[in-house]
Amino acid sequence: MNVFQATVSNRSYPPDTGGYQRIHGLVSGLDGVKFNVERYCCTGPISVLYSEGELISKSVNPESNVEEIRDYSLIYDIPKVINEFGLSRIPWQLIFKTPIRENILNRATSCDVAIGEDPYTAALLATRTELPTVYSSHNVEYMRYESTHNNLLSDKLSNAIRHIEKVACQHSDLVVCTTQSDAEIFSSFSTDTCVIPNGIPKSRLSDNYEEVNIKQLGISKDGDVAVFIGSNYYPNIEAAEWLINHWDESPRDCHLVLLGEMVDGIEQVHNRVHEVGYVDQLKPWLAMADVGLNPAKIGGGSNIKLLEYFAAGLPVVSTQFGASGFNIVDGENLVLSERKEFFDELSVLLSDPYLRERIGSAAFDTVQKEYTWEQLSNKLQKRLEGIL
């Protein structure tokens, strides 16, 4: 079976952000004998130079049965540049009314099934081809936009996003969601929805790594370390800045380590907060920590950072919002806390090593049993076989 997968992103491999992990991870475990995947990326040369520092290759084979095509066009830069000004990705609707859409449609027609990784490509594939089409939703886009934008055009743009999501859902044969709450919202638009949560590669569960020495950050060996990870995405920046602004409420010997490109958007400083930024390998850094944090309050979908913490065996303090989409039992495999009591719960965890060990171990068992892409891809495979 030949699967055509389309995304408005410049690339999805290597999968170094939550969205990229979703795009690549969902198909990475498909049976390599039965399935071949051609992934089409709407690659803008200007935005690639801005984000990557150099042009990336036009194609890559991340798996033996997966090929990622980066189709360069200046036209694809238009919505990406506009998005930098907070006007979302509405222009994609206009872009896909131009002849450039034939680049996508011509490649798609040689396949057996199509997957759109956003409402724009999903709507195009579902309405302009005869292929069975899957809308792979990462979140409810219009609700995510509403939670992260507040300007004069917000209501109008939110309604426009909602319309294109509705079209994608109504015309697709299947809508795949990351959370049950998303599926319930989309069920009013689609007759067939299913939930396939976010995951991580099974290789993340390996303990073959060398732990980072906290002394290199100027933290004494007796100090406690909490960690927060995130990409350069406003909900992550907001959560990190909240932590920094309230870090005086944490235990006095506890240090916060921030990992990921979100640090590029942070202005606040604190003498017990260490802004490390992007790292090639998360596991050695997570291994030095005592607890993982996720005080997220806005955004959409589900937070893959939670699974990264779990795979490292870290006990986690998270808001209910930050833990949405996963099989969580408060006090067993995670500690749920809203921001008002967040540092109280952190203090309890740091004062009880046996509690940390128990919760961290249960968290690891949860991700190992339920949330590897190898397991989750199998769910998608069964649904793809069912719609053909």
Q: How far is CA 216 from CA 22, 118, 138, in A?
A: 33, 41, 37
Distance CA 163, CA 307 (A): 32
Distance CA 217, CA 274 (A): 7
User: Smallest Cα–Cα separation from 305: which of 374, 371, 253?
Assistant: 371
Neighbours of 206 (CB within 10 A): 10
* pLDDT the model gives residue 327: 95
* pLDDT the model gives residue 159: 87
* pLDDT the model gives residue 179: 94
pTM listed for this prediction = 0.92
* pLDDT the model gives residue 89: 58
Task: Sketch out the chain's domains with CATH numbers.
Answer: 2-199+372-387 (3.40.50.2000), 202-370 (3.40.50.2000)
Per-residue pLDDT of the chain (388 residues; tens, 9 = 90+): 999 999 999 999 999 888 999 999 999 999 999 999 999 999 999 999 998 999 999 999 999 999 999 999 999 999 998 877 666 656 898 999 999 999 999 999 999 999 999 999 999 999 999 999 999 999 998 888 777 777 666 778 888 889 999 999 999 999 999 999 999 999 999 989 999 999 999 988 977 677 888 888 889 888 899 999 998 888 999 999 999 999 999 999 999 999 999 999 898 889 999 999 999 889 999 999 999 999 999 887 788 999 999 999 999 999 999 999 999 999 999 999 999 999 999 999 999 999 999 999 999 999 999 999 999 999 999 999 998 8
- Interstrand relation of 224-229 and 291-294 (parallel, antiparallel or unpaired): parallel
